[in-house]
Amino acid sequence: MYVGILEADVLLGAVSSLKQKRAVLRPVLARLRRLEVSVAEAGDTDLLRRAQIGVAVVSGTAAHVGEVLDTCERQLAGEPELELLSVHRRWVGPED
């Protein structure tokens, strides 16, 4: 069993309230969930223009985990409402 974790730091556009921030993030997170991953906003949730998005995937092969995380990263990079600042990945495998 392999577990992949992707942590994405994103900058949001013209957001002036936490309500607007959630309105921008909600559809982004929903689109990621369609890829059959677990996803949530994590980190400093009370910052207006910044968000940390956490994605996790479990699979029987490391290759599939990598493909899914690559797809999630590409999708985040292509979102017009946000700018992808940084991405960190972690893996857990049978040897850990």
Residue 55 φ then ψ, to 5° = -125, 135
pLDDT attached to residue 87? 97
Residue 39 · residue 53 · CB < 8 Å: yes
76-87 residue pLDDT tens: 999 999 999 999
Total structural domains within the chain: 1
Tell me if 94 sits within 8 A of 1, measured CB to CB: yes
The CATH number of residue 85's host domain is 3.30.70.1120
Q: Is the pLDDT of residue 50 over 90?
A: yes
Share of the chain above pLDDT 70, in %: 100
**In this structure, what token pair is assigned to residue 10?**
């994103």
β partners of residue 12: 82
Instruction: Encode pLDDT of 56-76 as tens digits.
Output: 999 999 999 999 999 999 999
Q: Percent of the chain at pLDDT above 90?
A: 88
Note down the domain range covering 50.
2-92
pLDDT score, position 51: 95
Average pLDDT for 2-7: 98
The residues, any chain, with a CB within 8 Å of residue 84's CB and separated by 6 or more, are: 8, 9, 10, 73, 76, 77
Mean pLDDT (the chain, rounded): 95
